[in-house]
Structure formats: C-alpha cells, structure tokens
Structure 1
Amino acid sequence: MITYDRLGSRPRTLGSWTLNYDQLGSRLRSVGAIDMTYSRWANLPRSVGQWSCEHSLFASRLERIGPHELRYDRLGSRVRAIGPLEIFYDRLGSRPVRVRLPGDGALPDDLLLALFLVLYWEEEREAAAAQRR
C-alpha cells in the first residue's frame, strides 16, 4: 500500500517503508533505510542502496537497476518489464494498470522496490518534460 501527503501528490510510504525526500522535496532520497544517490548534473539515479543504476549511452533512460534489467516498448518510451516482472498499461498507454510475475509466488521486496522506483522516476521525468513545454 502506498500512502500520500495531505495534497495527495507525493507518496509518503510504500508498505512499511517511509519515503524521505531532500530538503527541497524534489528528489526521493531514501526508501526506509535504503539511500539513493543521483548524478550531480543530470539528476539521474546512480545507486539505490547497494545496487547501481545503469543508463543508456546518452543517459536518456534507465537500463538496469541492480540485478534487474529494464525492457521498454518499441518506441522506447515505456518500461514494459523489470527483470521477470511485466508491466501492463491502460489503453492510452499512459498509466500502469497491472503487473505480472511468472509463477505463483508473491512479489519479492527487491522487485517491489524496483517497480516503485522505476514507475516513480518515470512519472517525475514526464512531469518535468510537461513543465518544459
């Protein structure tokens, strides 16, 4: 379960993990005890706890978060999978509506964290692009 701030715009918790932001409230700095670092100039995630984050050659998109490789749609605009976890979007392709993990097991915490972060950063990137227009 995700809870939000009073305005309903910023996530505050993810399950039992508290989400902490930097002083300006613009970047997610930690999820529970898991700290995140960002590149200085491009504001791209560099690490999540012990995991490193890998970006495409021109740093335009996240390619890997820790052990989980990201796969995108044909246009390269939407994340379709994180490791074995598949993401499905609504008809317009703008909002994630369902995820599927092969097998019968529950979603492991590491995939839950990766899913949340990837979707969160994707939404933040889109919001920033919309402001520039």
Structure 2
Amino acid sequence: MGITYGRLSSRPRTLGRWNLGYDRFGNNLTDIGGLGITYYRLGNRPRTFGQWTLEYDHLGSRLRRIGPYELGSDWHGNRLRTLGPLILHYGRFGNRPSQVEISDEYGSLPDDLLLALFLVLHMEAVEKERAGRRSIAGA
C-alpha cells in the first residue's frame, strides 16, 4: 500500500486505491476514499468521518474515539499507541510510526480501520505542523 503526494506540495493525494480530497484552500482533508469528513464550524477539528462520530476528551483537545474504535496514547499523550485492535510501534527516534500490528482475532486489516488510522495519523501530523508554525511565529 502506497501513498502518493502532490507534485508541488507535501500533501498526500492517494492512499493505495483511495483518493484523498481537500477543501478549496487545501487546508482540511475532506474525503478519504469517498468517506466524507465534516468539521466543527469554528476550527479545524473533525466531527465526523463517514457515518462515524469522533469523540474528544473533556477539554476537546485529544481524540478518544473514532466510530467503534477507541484510541490509546502513550503516557504523555503525545503519540497514538492503539486504535481499536491496532498497536502502533515507532521508529528509532520515536517520532514516526514504523509498524502497525493487528490482533490475531482480525487476521487482516479491514478497510474502514485502515482509513481511520490514516485519518488519525494525518490529524497528528497536521497538529505537529501547526504547533511548529506557532512556535516559529512566537520566537
């Protein structure tokens, strides 16, 4: 499974056989493989993905659930560790996922879970990029 990127940007355009859609300004991911993503009116936080609702913590800053899949983070809460039956392992420096493991009960990765994983990792990447821009602007 591969990810292709736009020629003039670092924005993903396809995930395997699924097309990725963005809003007219190219800021928000609005579609993954035909499953629409809606956002809260004020902000960049997704509200739904296809028919699933996204649930956040009581402060609204950390994603806790996407549809039927619960998310788990590391102790500091800055890295996704689990998404439903998936366990994420990180590379040598701990900042990029390097491997995804699925529990034996599934056998193979369902498409909806793969697309949910992409959405969550994309959201993390966008947030890190925005935080970097804020720190540069504040310096």
Query: What amino acid is the match of 2:44?
Result: N
Question: What runs of 5+ residues in structure 2 fail to find an aligned partner?
Answer: none
Corresponding residue SS for 2:38: strand
Deviations 1:65-121 (A, max 9, x none): 110000000001111000010001113211000000012722110110111011000
Comparing 39-48 with 103-112, which one deviates more in the overlay? 103-112
2: CA distance, partners of 1:92 / 1:16: 30
In 2, Cα distance between equivalents of 1:15 and 1:76: 29
Following TM superposition, by how much is the alpha carbon of 1:42 offset from its aligned partner in structure 2, in angstroms? 2.8
Give the AA of the match of 2:55.
E
Displacement of 1:59 in angstroms is 0.9
Moved over 2 A (4+): none
**TM-score, length basis structure 2:** 0.91
Count of aligned pairs: 133
Where structure 1 has 5 or more consecutive residues not aligned to the other structure, the ranges are none
Counterpart of 1:123 in structure 2 is 125
Q: TM-score, normalised by structure 1?
A: 0.95
Q: Which amino acid aligns with 2:13?
A: R
Identity of paired residues, percent? 51
1-10 vs 72-81, which moves further: 1-10
Considering only aligned residues, what root-mean-square deviation do their CA atoms show, in Å? 1.2
Letter in 1 for 2:30: R
In 2 relative to 1, CA 8–97 (structure 1 residues): closer, same or farther, beyond 3 Å?
Answer: farther
State yes or no: 1:6 paired with 2:3.
Answer: no
